Amino acid sequence: MGRTFELRRTQRIARPVDEVCAFFADALNLQRITPAFLRFEVSTPTPIDMRTGTMIDYRLRLHGLPIRWRTRISAWQPPHRFVDEQVRGPYRLWVHTHTFHEDGDGTIMNDHVRYAMLGGALVHRLWVRRDLQRIFDYRRDAIAACFGSEGDGLHAGDAACKSSAS
């Protein structure tokens, strides 16, 4: 498989965990928190029943190249945790764990992504790390705008964000 990399992000959202989880339980909201330059769209017919085993297809463009991406929800434990894993897409490995924890009147959301790609450390250093930082920075700001909440990440990091069924 080659070298594996990790991205971690933590963000406080000034909304209750159930409300935050309901947002992430709607797969179409991923389009709202993904930067426009990716031209990202969910191609799986809606409504999408989020549960362990759900498969979701996406289309996007990265550096001008069309990409089809399929993920499987490999863990669904609302309102505290869910995991999506790439089945088909640009990475050799992509496992994104989302976790949510109550924090007073708000929610701490963690993202932890384990990933690997062809080209290993060189491709990571030249393109992938920068692309993922840009995408997750946008995501942080978009989530803050969606919830009108604190947008500053508590620390850089990987995949985390819990979901619950709506």
Query: What is the pLDDT, as a whole number, of residue 1?
Result: 62
CA atoms within 13 A on the CB side of 85: 10
Does some domain include residue 162?
no
Give pLDDT, residue 44: 97
- pLDDT value of position 162: 28
| Chunked mean pLDDT (size 10), the chain, 166 residues | 91 95 94 96 96 98 95 97 97 97 96 95 94 97 83 33 28
Q: Which domain holds residue 111?
A: 5-155
Whether residue 23 lies inside any domain: the answer is yes
- SS3 state at 43: coil
Residues 6+ apart with CB under 8 A from 107: 12, 13, 15, 16, 17, 19, 20, 100, 101, 162
**CATH code, 85:** 3.30.530.20
CA distance 34 to 145: 13
Model pLDDT, residue 156 = 29
Residue 138 in domain: yes
Q: How far apart are CA 105 and CA 114, in angstroms?
A: 30
Q: How many domains does the chain have?
A: 1
Number of Cβ within 10 Å of residue 117's Cβ equals 19
